[in-house]
Chain A
Amino acid sequence: MGQSLKRTLDPGLLSGALSAAAVIFGAILLREPLQTSLAADSVEEQFERLILLHATLPRITMAILCGAGLALSGTILQQVLRNPLVAPDTVAVNAGARLALALAAVLAPGLLGFGRDLVAIAGAAVSTLLVLAIAGSRRYSPLSMILAGLVVSLYCGAASTVLVLLKDRYLVGLFIWGSGSLSQQSWEPAIQLALRLLACGLPLAMLMRPLSVMDAGEEAARAVGVPVERVRIFAVGLAVLMAAFVTSAVGVIGFIGLAAPALATLCGAERFVARCFWSTIFGALLLVVTDLAVQVTGGDGGAFIPTGAVTAVIGSPLLLVFLSRLRSREPQLLAVDASMPVRTPHPARNAPVWAFLAAGALLCLCFLPLIGRAPDGSWFILPANMFGEIMPWRLPRTLGAAGAGGLLAIGGYILQRVTQNPMASPEIIGVSAGAIMGAAIVLALGGAASEISLGLAAAAGSFAALVFVLNIAFRGPAAPERMLLAGVALTALVDAAVGVFSASGSPSAVLLLAWMAGSAGGVDMTMAASACAAALIFLCVALLGSRWLAVLPLGTPVAAGVGVRVPLALSSLFALVAVMTAIATPVIGPLTFVGLMAPHMVRLLGVRSAPAGLVASALTGAALMTIADSLARTIAFPLQLPTGVLASLISGPVLLLLIAKGRKQ
């Protein structure tokens, strides 16, 4: 993995520079307390010493331990999965732990008193297993791994959001934990963490040799008798355990596990042992410097700046650095995957499929809006004479959801088709992240006076993100992969920023969460009608590009060979997806997964050709969102749930089933 990353830094120089920074910040922070506490006589001075001894020093120690633990965890993961993009963040260790803690806080608060770390570790283990299971079908290729990680993270995030909206008053602490604060009040947590990490040392020492042999590649390792599969399982388990220990001790510290190994590689540490050594040192130094800087600059402004979010904001753009360095020589990243074959159409199967799809969509659209709950909670089917009373409230949200669902599903179909990646969806190309950022800025400035200003800000954010992502995607070859990665980096960055905003505890942050959850309640008839019209118009536009969709999956040379101007085709299609996402997001929120799920269902139904796939996806997407919206309206009555997040909660398990089924085929 190191070949494509040229040695550009000197490890000694880098660690020296980081240490110097740590010493400078440390001196600023510690000078005064040290002076007073050394000459301690009065109560005040003894008190300074107390803080120095039991808060400041444990915090520095904690930063060293956490940085080292995360860096080592990231290095092991990268080695064993042969993938420079994996880290505790990108394989959803953190997201799973966060969801587990939120669930425990709401359902069984006693469990937290019993042991926060056990809950966090259980969550981390489950989410990581999920990511591995999804990516395993594609041999843990870098891109599929990171996309699976992002999808699982987003899913856990959606579930956490629902909990926060339903029970926000229990969960203030969740935001702080999610943004990683290193604040300490005693040595105990640091000692506990040190012991746990040390306990990981023995199995790590045993794995060191087989892992080192894998430097030369899996085949070579097998040839000298290394049981690669077993080593991989143990090593991943160990890495996840280390990251989960850190996470449960201080919360989510973003992207140290990605940045430190990256720096080690950039410093030319080619051998695994050297990478482990340098990355551990860099990880510890990076976190100490960041944390000291946060303490020195943070001060007493009344604002709470969690260190973990700061590292994530600094660290997530690193994915972009990798982008510029990953040349097309990186074979795994570019391989057209055989697990998503472009099969020939089955004309015989198509007729019943169409009948089924059309009937299903029609049934959903016409019948589901009629089902509702009366104020006393009883279910009833809306009689015709009450249309005038109820439909003005119900119709806009249903139509809006259907239109947005159609748009996102078309977008998802195009993305999955062009990138040949089953995890590609409008959520992860960064456009949704841009929309969130736009909405967040408006809300943080306190200007969310209307649905329209929020929608406009979201649309502006979407387009800014689109320009950014396309700009990166077309700076070199391999556009689809680069675009997905740019989207992932942007999503991580925005996630960190939202984390800081939420940790501030401002009620506006709850407003942002509610908007992100995809509330359909605010949709009016104009918005709904525009979404539906846009779905129809862009379906037609997409159909015009169906030749591109048919040819591009065959690979760039083939496509160019039959006369397709590949860059033009790709940028047009991506721009189309981004525009559709930007229109759908203000209506239904930035997270639904319908664009991920609908194309899978369409494929399983046996629809193969591009034009048919587009139409079928649009129908499926609209139907799925109508179902989600009807459920959101009724299941928790009198509470209404946010439609977007409910759709993604339903989509998750269904998606897993679809992927499992797709693997069997």
Chain B
Amino acid sequence: MHKRGMNLTRRAVLQGMSLPALAACAPAPAGLSRGGVAALDWALAETMIALGEPPAGVVAAADWRRFVVEPALPDGVTDLGLQQELNFELIAALRPRLILISPFLERFKPKLDRIAPSVNLSVYEHADTPLANRIRITRKLASHIDAEHAADAYISALDALRDEAEARLSRLKRRPVLLVSFIDNRHARVYGGSSLYADTLAWLGLQNGWRKPVGYFGFATVGLEDLATAADVELIAVEPVPPDISRALSSSPLWTELPFVKAGREGRIPPVFMFGALPSAQRFAKLLLAYLETKWDRA
């Protein structure tokens, strides 16, 4: 009698704790089967979504809509807390079969391994260009979630996108592109070489307007005066931008006298996750293409 009572309580509690996402992945007894994947890094999570196998849980889900935007986070994906302050109880309750982490979470690996095998995948390996590296990571990730075919299809779709982009861009008069994020009313990050933005730009066959060195993560932090160039470039700022940037720029003679500013060759595109993987690159390429088609003259 006593034992049965205990079991009932246990079941009630577990039912209370069961997750919609979990229920979707695992129709078996509530919350007890090992189902989904916990993706503790946005780049890996967005890759899973793109491959049609959305994760059961991601970190900082509340901010996704603002900074990753696309691919949209499906309903029912559990928010597992801040990336640097993981909610282990919640991850354990999710009963994942696999946990995906980035090198930045390496120190939590021993603890995570007690919940489920964790795999560390880095989108930052400098042996390769950022995109080549992300293609490799996408295939590797696909092999862990049995989605190799989806990965092949996704990567060939990217190739098709590039062919299409080349065709569309060839009709335009091209010029170098300066990719920036405005940080405050006096500073910006400008992207080069090893950043996802700049590599996608190169992948599209466009020239980067920034020739000076950048740091390890592919950007340089500069005063806005360092963006001043006599060259005929197109400046594109990735949102979000600080609220007072327009006022600061329009009151700076240095800025308003710049040839490319005078010619109106500056603008903004919606947010793209800068530490993202292939889906972010794809989103960036599409946004860039759409933007340039509205701005650039036909050749």
Q: Chain A residues in contact with chain B, CB under 8 A? A: 43-44, 47, 50-51, 53-55, 109-110, 112-113, 116, 165-167, 169-170, 172-173, 176-177, 181, 183-186, 188, 300-304, 372, 374-376, 378, 380, 383, 385-386, 389-390, 392-394, 448-451, 454, 503-508, 510-511, 513-514, 517, 519, 521-522, 524, 633, 637-642
Contacts and interface: CB of A to CB of B under 8 A. Distances in A.
Interface stretch (B104-112, B146-154, B172-180): B104-112
B243 A113 contact: yes
B212 A300 contact: yes
B37 to A, nearest CB: 16
B92 A389 contact: yes
Contacts of B294: none
Contacts of A524: 110-111
B93 interface: yes
B86 interface: yes
Given A55-B225, A380-B13, A386-B10, A504 B85 contact: no
B254 A183 contact: no
Given A113-B244, A176-B221, A186 B252 contact: yes
Given A172-B183, A181-B223, A385-B6, 8 more contacts: A55-B254, A172-B189, A185-B225, A302-B220, A378-B16, A390-B92, A511-B104, A640-B85
Contact of B221 (A304, A394, A517, A637): A304
Contacts of A503: 221
A50 B17 contact: no
B95 to A, nearest CB: 10
Q: Which of A304, A386, A392, A508 has the most B CB atoms < 10 Å from its CB? A: A304
B82 A639 contact: yes
Nearest to B248: A185
B107 A450 contact: yes
A43 B230 CA distance: 7
A451 B247 CA distance: 46
A505 B17 CA distance: 39
B242 A173 contact: yes
B72 interface: no
A109 B243 contact: yes
9 contacts: A50-B254, A173-B187, A184-B186, A185-B255, A300-B213, A372-B89, A519-B84, A637-B87, A638-B79
A383 to B, nearest CB: 6
Contact of A521 (B6, B85, B222): B85
A508 B216 CA distance: 11
B211 to A, nearest CB: 10
B185 A116 contact: yes
A336 B167 CA distance: 82
B63 interface: yes
A184 B16 CA distance: 58
Given A505-B189, A507-B104, A639-B87, A385 B9 contact: yes
Contacts of A508: 104
Interface of B: 6, 9-10, 13, 16-19, 63, 66-67, 78-82, 84-90, 92-94, 104, 106-108, 110-111, 114, 181, 183-187, 189, 212-217, 219-225, 228, 230, 240, 242-244, 247-249, 251-255, 257, 259, 275
Contacts of A394: 89
B57 to A, nearest CB: 9
B108 A522 contact: yes
A393 B247 contact: no
A390 B244 contact: no
B243 A375 contact: no
Contacts of A386: 10, 13
B84 A54 contact: no
B243 A185 contact: no
Given A185-B248, A302-B215, A374-B16, A51 B254 contact: yes
A43 B231 CA distance: 10
A186 B82 CA distance: 40
Contacts of B86: 521, 640
Contact of A640 (B82, B213, B217, B244): B82
A302 B214 contact: yes
Contacts of B90: 375, 638
A116 B81 contact: no
Contacts of B253: 50, 53-54, 186
B240 A170 contact: yes
B230 to A, nearest CB: 5
Contacts of A55: 223, 225, 228, 254
B13 A519 contact: no
A641 B85 CA distance: 7
B98 to A, nearest CB: 19
A388 to B, nearest CB: 11
Contact of A113 (B94, B224, B240, B247): B247
Contacts of A50: 228, 253-254, 257
A522 B80 CA distance: 15
Given A185-B252, A186-B252, A375-B90, A511 B222 contact: no
Q: Which of A380, A389, A449 has the most B CB atoms < 10 Å from its CB? A: A389
A391 to B, nearest CB: 10
A97 B292 CA distance: 40
B3 to A, nearest CB: 10
Contacts of A181: 186-187, 223
A230 to B, nearest CB: 37
A173 B80 contact: no
A638 B87 contact: yes
A393 B243 contact: no
Contacts of B81: 638-640
Contact of B212 (A109, A302, A451, A521): A302
Q: 10 tightest A-B contacts by CB?
A: A183-B223, A514-B84, A113-B243, A173-B184, A55-B225, A54-B254, A304-B221, A186-B252, A302-B213, A185-B252
A380 B13 CA distance: 9
A378 to B, nearest CB: 7
B107 A448 contact: yes
B189 to A, nearest CB: 7
Nearest to A510: B84
A112 to B, nearest CB: 5
B23 to A, nearest CB: 12
Nearest to A374: B17
Contacts of B184: 173, 176-177
Contacts of B16: 374, 376, 378, 380
Nearest to B221: A304
Contacts of A510: 84, 104
Contact of A375 (B17, B111, B181): B17
B196 to A, nearest CB: 13
Contact of B82 (A165, A300, A390): A165
B85 A514 contact: yes
B226 to A, nearest CB: 8
B129 to A, nearest CB: 18
Contact of A304 (B107, B222, B254, B255): B222
A277 B93 CA distance: 67
Contact of B252 (A44, A54, A110, A304): A54
Contacts of A372: 89
B277 to A, nearest CB: 15
A393 B81 CA distance: 15
Q: Which of B79, B219, B221 has the most A CB atoms < 10 Å from its CB? A: B221
A55 B214 CA distance: 22
